[in-house]
Amino acid sequence: MARDHSLEQQALKVLHQNSHLSFYQDTLQRHILPSRHYYTHQWFWDSCMHAMGLAYYDMKWAQDEIASLFHGQWDNGFIGHIIFNTSDTTYYPGIDVWGTKQLSPRNVYTSGIIQPPLLAISMNHMDLLSSKNDNFIDTYLPKLMLYHTYLKTVRDKEDSGLLTIIHPWESGTDNSPRWDSILSRINVANIPERVKKDVDQNRKDTKNGKISHRPQRNDYYRYLYLVDMYKNLKWNSDAILEKTPFAIKDTLVNSMWAKANQALSDMLTRRNRLPEAQLFANWARETRSAMRKSWNNKKHLYALYDVSYGKHQAIDTDTVSNFMPLYAHIPTPEHLSALLKKLTDPTQYGSVNPVPSVPLTSPSFEPTRYWRGPTWPITNLFIIEGLKTYTKNAVCQTLAKKLLRKTEAMIEKKGFYEYYHPFASKKESGVGFGDFSWSAAIYLYLKKRYTIQDDQTDSVRNSHQAFKKSQSS
């Protein structure tokens, strides 16, 4: 039977329509906006994901997406979570709020914070699909190594194996309940009036989108308070780490960090650059081992650490980030069976549209509010791929396949939304902004990488079974 390509075509259309052209050093360059309705610049982890989907359809397009991120790289190796289009001034907080112009490369302005470090994972995926004479990866490997070295030396000074994040936005999961106890320390009454006024006048997400889908106002004040503080500290990372109330060793970010170092090591191994490959493999190993030690045996979760003001305090809020270590093959057999239980429990993460960002019975659960309940394709992808790495575990394989089918069905039914209501029966299933690029890219990636292959395996298996049946009858 011929395969139906129509949704793949729609996904490619979303990516095409969200493409943005600009000049960089007199050459035309392009990248994809996460959403034309609100996210009107380039976002770091979104772009890494766009490239992973596009790599199957148009490698040059995927390469342009990654090259555009590197155009925003600072001299010290840092890459910001937003690379701004200078022609667009609608998004808030814009370039001037960040105060990073002097640090950004000439004519390319960026934010001053990071996002989950998926870059090497994305590039490794592209490397495996590229033709032999394509030198894109070789060209950008030095910049990628510089980026990893920046993260290691600046965000893991104490060599713990775990990176420190300095803003909830760095985790990509802005209003996750795992930040609540830390953010509540920032008393809104003490936030300068000018910061609050700026937010009240300029915040756009609640104007362009629905208020009930977005972070609460007090949290937004706190996000901007942190940005303002770092701007006043001139983005000096030592000063920031000393003064910030928000310094966290995060589970999601560090799972990506472990996976990314392994990916970088694999690319170097493929090029026979063995001593460098060894260095990054060691970093990956250190992170995996530090994360295993963070396991809370009573609550069955990987703790985060609050390391602000010299502290080292475990935070054990249960959210979808607890499954991210699967992606870097961190869980031991004992952790794995505890995680599988939670994942399938209908009172926790086993919703109709799995996997919700917060357990269904948690007091923090809100089904449409951003990272406080909705299901996100990106975290589903990490869980699916993580489960698949447990190749000898039949439960993991079956669950990965089920989750893959459900994720695709959710997108097929509702369209390419930013995130989804965890219950399919609810009318409002697609939430956040529509025509969202990474949901389109993730759909393409899952389809090409797994579904087509699984379908073929299934049809081979079915015909094999039919043959066996006909033989025995």
- Find tokens 């289009």 and name the residue: 85
Closer residue to ligand DGY in complex, CB, 169/443: 169
- Interatomic CA distance for residues 130 and 66, integer angstroms: 14
Q: Does 219 bind ligand DGY (CB under 6 A)?
A: no
Closer residue to ligand DGY in complex, CB, 205/385: 205
Footprint of ligand DGY on 170-189 (CB under 6 A): 174
Structure tokens at 156: 């893991």
CB of 181 to ligand DGY, least distance (A): 20
Peptide bond into 367 cis (omega under 30): no
Footprint of ligand DGY on 430-449 (CB under 6 A): none
CB of 432 to ligand DGY, least distance (A): 10
Q: Tell me which of 169, 179, 349, 438 binds ligand DGY, using CB under 6 A.
A: 169
Closer residue to ligand DGY in complex, CB, 205/306: 205
- Interatomic CA distance for residues 271 and 124, integer angstroms: 12
Number of residues that bind ligand DGY (CB under 6 A): 4
Indicate the pairing of strand 42-43 with strand 82-83. antiparallel
Closer residue to ligand DGY in complex, CB, 175/308: 175
Closer residue to ligand DGY in complex, CB, 87/90: 90
Binding mask 67-96 for ligand DGY (x = CB under 6 A): --------------x---------------
CB of 174 to ligand DGY, least distance (A): 5
Main-chain phi, psi angles of 194, to 5 degrees = -65, -35
CA 456 to mean position of chain CA atoms? 29
CB of 422 to ligand DGY, least distance (A): 20
CB of 29 to ligand DGY, least distance (A): 21
- Interatomic CA distance for residues 428 and 409, integer angstroms: 16
CB of 205 to ligand DGY, least distance (A): 6
Peptide bond into 355 cis (omega under 30): yes
Closer residue to ligand DGY in complex, CB, 220/323: 220
Q: Does 205 bind ligand DGY (CB under 6 A)?
A: yes
Question: How many residues does the structure list for the chain?
Answer: 473
Binding mask 408-427 for ligand DGY (x = CB under 6 A): --------------------
Closer residue to ligand DGY in complex, CB, 174/250: 174
Q: Measured at CB, which residue is nearest to ligand DGY?
A: 169
CB of 224 to ligand DGY, least distance (A): 10
CB of 169 to ligand DGY, least distance (A): 5
CB of 81 to ligand DGY, least distance (A): 6
Closer residue to ligand DGY in complex, CB, 205/250: 205
Contact (Cβ atoms closer than 8 angstroms) between residue 33 and residue 39 = yes
Closer residue to ligand DGY in complex, CB, 81/222: 81
Residues that bind ligand DGY (CB under 6 A): 81, 169, 174, 205
